Structure formats: C-alpha cells, structure tokens
Amino acid sequence: MPETAETAKRPVLAAIDFSPFSERALEWAAGAARDFDAPLVVLHVVHDPASEPGYYQRAAAGDEPLQRIEEAAAEMMTEFLDGVSEEHPGLLVGAARRLVIGVPVTRILEVAQEIDAQLIVMGSHGRTGLSHLMLGSKAQSVAQLSPIPVTIVKVPEWDA
C-alpha cells in the first residue's frame, strides 16, 4: 500500500489479545508502520465487565488482593509488550498503547475511526471448519465491518 497524502502519518492499529497469534500480528503491524512511516498504536480491548461474569479476579496466584479486570489487563499488556520488546529490540519504540473496555469488534472499529487509522492488523488462530463456525472470529468480523483495510495475520498451529 503506497503512501499518499491521504494515508501519510495515519496510524497503523494493532489489536492484540496477548496470544502468540497477536504477537505475530504485532510484529507485522510494526513492520507496516515502519514501511509507511506511520505511527503504531497497540490496542487491547477488555471485555465489558458489566456484561461478563467475574468482574473481579485475582491479580496472580497467592494472597494478593482482588483487582479490577482493567487493572489486571493493563498489567498483562505491559508484561506482553515488554516481552515482545525483549524478543525484538526496537520493534515497539514510539508505539502508543491503548486499553479500552467494551465488546472487542465494536471497540476495535471505534478506536480505528477515532485515531483515523489507515490499517487494522489482527492475529488469528487460523481455525477452519466446525471450530471456526462454532467459535467465530473477531478478526473476520472486524474485516467484514471495517471501512478501512484489515490485515489478518494467521499462524499455523505448529508455529504457535
């Protein structure tokens, strides 16, 4: 995708879920952002606690106090991105981090519009057949509903 006046400096949005699949997608998104000379925004959507049971969870094993799920997700995001940065020094330099609450597909599309992203990048488990039909695909839903390009980075099971 060549850079034009319309896409110049519009960010690349990488939606992550802390899985090996999203790590691969993040690597791909960082490369695209570098190639487009565009900012990289890393997004994690915390499922809306009001609609999900288990609003509180333990931060870690042991006697630590309960914490809000957003706080746990923020810690997990930091750990995940620190791990990616250790494995790939320089990959995430200058990347913005966003943590939002809501329904993932909806919030990914809303954030993409809010930041005027030129591209959304997501990982996929690469499921096919019955498991894909039963579990659905957030990446596929985003791709179907998005007015901007979406790149889905699939990782074969044996690589994950």
Residue-wise pLDDT for 35-54, tens only, equals: 999 999 999 999 765 554 44
Fold designation for 12-159: Rossmann fold (3.40.50)
**Residue range 136-151: average pLDDT?**
91
What does the pLDDT average to over 63-72?
67
Kindly state the percentage of the chain with pLDDT values over 90: 60
94 or 131: whose pLDDT is higher? 94
132 pLDDT exceeds 70?
A: no
**Residue-range domain boundaries for the chain:** 12-159
Taking residues 78-85, report their average pLDDT: 96
Categorize the per-residue pLDDT at 126 as very low, low, confident or very high, splitting at 50, 70 and 90.
low
52-75 mean pLDDT: 61
Ramachandran class of 137: left when φ > 0, alpha when ψ lies in -120 to 50, beta otherwise = beta
3-state SS track over the chain: CCCCCCCCCCCEEEECCCCHHHHHHHHHHHHHHHHHCCCEEEEEEEECHHHCCCCEEECCCCCCCEEEHHHHHHHHHHHHHHHHHHHCCCCCCCCEEEEEEECHHHHHHHHHHHCCCCEEEEEECCCCHHHHHHHCCHHHHHHHHCCCCEEEEECCHHHC
pTM of the model: 0.79
Residue 48's pLDDT is what?
A: 66
Tell me what percent of the residues of the chain surpass a pLDDT of 70. Answer: 72
Tokens describing residue 27: 């690597």
**Residue 78 pLDDT:** 96
